[in-house]
Each structure stands twice: as C-alpha cells, then as structure tokens.
Amino acid sequence: MNRKLSEARLLAAKKMPYLTHAIMSLIPVERPGLGTMAVDEYSRMYYDPAFIESRELKHLGFVVLHETIHVWSRHGKRCEKLLGKQPASDRLNIWRLAVDAAVNDVLEQSGLQCPDEGVTPAKLNLPRNHTAEEYFNLLMQRAAEEQKQKQEQSQGQGEGQESDDQQQSEQQGDSNDATDEKTEPGDLQGDKPQEGKVEQQEDSQEGETEQQGQGDAQDGEPTAEEIGGSCADDQPRPWEDGPPSEEHPGLQEHEQNLIEAATAKAIEVYQEQRGCGSVPGGLARQASDKLHPKIDPARELLAKVKYAVGSTSGFGAFTYQRPNRRQPAGGALLPAHVKPVPRVTVIIDTSGSMQQSDLQLALGVIANALRSLPDPRGLRVLAGDTAVASAKNVFRPESVELAGGGGTDMSAMILAACEERPAPKAILVITDGYTGWPRKPVSPRVVACLTRPNAASSVPEWIDTVILNPEE
C-alpha cells in the first residue's frame, strides 16, 4: 500500500479516534488515472497514486475521513431508499451535493478544515447540522422555486415580445402603405434579402449551434465516474471491481454490519468519557440510532397481537355437538372440526387523568387490533376507570362508548376481563400508566399500551409494554 496513504489513515484515526475501526477496515485499491479517492459499496478505497503525491498529508487525512463516513453512514443504501434503484440524473446530482455537504459539515464540526474544492453547507447557502436527506429536500425545494421563477419570467418576456411584435407590425404596415403611394411595384423587389445573404445567415446559425453544443458538453455536470464511488449514491462505476471475490477482496454485508456496530459503540463510549459535544452531533445521532433503533409502536403492537392470537388459538378443536360433514351412513360417530374465533379484549382507561389525545390513541389501537384479527367477531372492548362502565363487541372503532371519568384501577378491569366467558386470549390495556396492576400474572397475554412513556417503569415485568407516543 502507498506509504503516504498509510500515514494519512493514521492521521485520520488520530483526529477522530472513535472511527479507527472503520478507517482501518477500508481496503486500499490502487487505480492510476482516477484523479481522486473514492469508496465503493464493499468498503474498497480506490486511490490514484498521482493524487496522493500531489496533496498534503492534512488534506489526505480529511479525504480518508470523508470516505470513511460515507461507508459507515451507508449513504448508498439511503440513496436507494430515497430515490430508487434508477434515479433521474438531476435528482442524483442533487443527492451527491447533499451527501457531501452533510459529511463535510460533520468534519468541520470536529475542527477540520474542508479543502477548497469540497462542498459545504455554507457554499450551498444551507443551515448547518442537518442530515443528507434534509439537505436533499432543501436543495430540491430551491430547484423547484428557481424553475418556477424561470417559467414566470419566460411567460412575462413572451407576452412583452408579442406586444412589441404587434406594435412593430402596425408601424410597418403604415410605412408600407405610404411607400405604395410613391413607388412602383417593381421597386419593392429591392426590399427582399438576397439569396446569398440567406445562405450565409443559415450557415452562421448552424455554426453558433455547434459551438453552443460543444460548450454545454464541456461545462455540464460532471459524470458519475468523476464524482466519488458507489458507496455515496449506490451507482456502480466502471472502474470498480464489483462484488467481492478472491481476486478482488471486499467486505460482505454481514462484515460491514459488525464494523458498523463496533464503530457506533466506540462513538457512544467516547462521548460518555469525554462529555457531550466531544463527538459531532450528526455522528452521535447516527450512533444512537444504530445502537438503539426506534420501533414503530403501531407495527410493534400488531406483531404482539398477532403473536398472542397465533400462539394461543392453535389450529382448532373437535366437537361432538355438531355432526361431521363427512359422517358415513351407519358408521361410527365422527366429531366435527371447529376453528375457534380468537378472543381479544381491549381495556380503555377512561379515568380523569386520561386526556382527549390519549383517548384518540385508544381508538387507533382498536383499529390496529381489528386489522390484525382474522375474525373481528373476537374483539371486545371494556371501558372504565375502577370498574367496567361499558362493555360490548366492536366491529368499528367509532362504535366504542367511552364511559367513566373517576379514579384509576386497571387491575380490577383486567381481572374482570379474565372472568368473562369465553375467556380472552389476549388483553390490551390502553392507559396513561398512572394505575395499579395485578400482583400476580393472569393466564391471558397482557399488553400495556401506554400513552405516556414516563410511566413505563411501573408496569410489571410479566406484562408486555408498547409506548404509543414515544416522541413525547
């Protein structure tokens, strides 16, 4: 490996030690004529030896960190998620600007100086400390506004040109009328352009068009081969080596996941030891999201309801109370198969501490429960505070009657639900959490759907917990 590049990697690790694992995992690949450095989706770092020798060590350290953050942040995957597998070229160019601005902003927050050719939020007239997706949306909005202004200006110029043409036509008509009175018809032939002049004008226009076309090709946007590697935008380059092989080693998805997790943990530990602000905000947020991913409460609730119903209802049962449809004449009595209806009871806390927004979340939970059940006849809703004030089978969320408004005791409501026949397979309790709970586990699976996240610590361990509004 190039010695100067090795020194640049050591300098980069010294500047941001929590990225050391990610920096040293990059696989150097010499690519003469590339003119820069770039990384692909398999953590290969391509470099041009001439580029390495022409740059100062401080500059190269910045570039190594830039490429490392591209890899660790999975910008290629995020680009595919945002734009699709075959994005339009104009949107792709805007993403490249946005993602480079986001990376360089993180590095400048670490006290590093971005090279003159680098893209920064300041150069794009954008605010600092935003994600690549946020910068992309801001740039797209700006492009749409500029396009709208151009169209309005074009329409205004078109209307003004029509007015000028009409006025000129009227003046020319008056002049022609005056000329007709003083000249002979044969004299008007002199007003026509000569054939040679027409050909010369056409040739001149064609030459200008060719020159303009060549200028556009030279001054247009850089091609994909000239900007970074596939790790930034998920667009493979012709000079990349493709999927890993014995001839061209690279990191597979599972290997990158391990490095990603180790780097995120190193960032978290570094920030705990050095204090808040020791790591740029963008990297700290990404590390937190990778180590502690946010769970969609609706999806989590649906999964728990489906698991409770599927694991308790079983395939079915047999009964002798109904004749079997395949009962042979004069033969032995065969039992009929019965597929049970999964019973789910939803308990809604309607005590005085529950606000209107909490009750709206409760109706949303009922809608999710209805979607997850194979048969809506099995859903029953109990509403109350210290005792059941309303109980009914529900087929639509709008039919729920919210009654109560006093104190809170969900333990009594849960025990009352367990005593109903047929007994429920799962019980969903929608509450703000400021309540008592049964001291001992009950046979149905219980899921506490909390509208206030700060009350989760009071829920017993044997009860599953879902935070309905985690943003609070």
Query: So where are the chain's domains?
Result: 3-135+230-287, 297-323+334-467
| Residue 306's pLDDT band (cuts 50, 70, 90) | low
Share of the chain above pLDDT 70, in %: 64
Identify which has the larger pLDDT, 415 or 304. 415
Which H or E run includes 304?
A: helix 297-313
CB 450 within 8 A of CB 456: yes
Per residue in 408-420, pLDDT (tens digit) is 678 888 888 888 8
Decide: 371 and 301 in contact? Cβ < 8 Å.
no
Q: Give, rounded to a whole angstrom, the gap between the first and last alpha carbons of the chain.
A: 51
CA dist., res. 383 & res. 388, Å (int) = 6
Buried/exposed code over 162-199 (b: 16+ C-beta within 10 A; e: otherwise): eeeeeeeeeeeeeeeeeeeeeeeeeeeeeeeeeeeeee
Amino acid letter for position 464: D
Token digits of residue 90: 């104009």
Q: What angle do CA 252, 240, 18 make, to 5 degrees?
A: 50
Half-sphere exposure of 424 (CA within 13 A, CB side): 30
Query: What is the bridge-based pairing of β-strands 317-323 and 379-384?
Result: unpaired
Tens of pLDDT, residues 325-335: 666 666 667 77
Output the pLDDT for position 376: 57
CA angle, 426 then 404 then 358, to 5°: 65
In the predicted model, what is the mean pLDDT of residues 320-328? 66
Tell me 427's DSSP state.
E
The topology under which CATH files domain 297-323+334-467 is: Rossmann fold (3.40.50)
Q: d(Cα 454, Cα 433) in Å, to the nearest integer?
A: 8
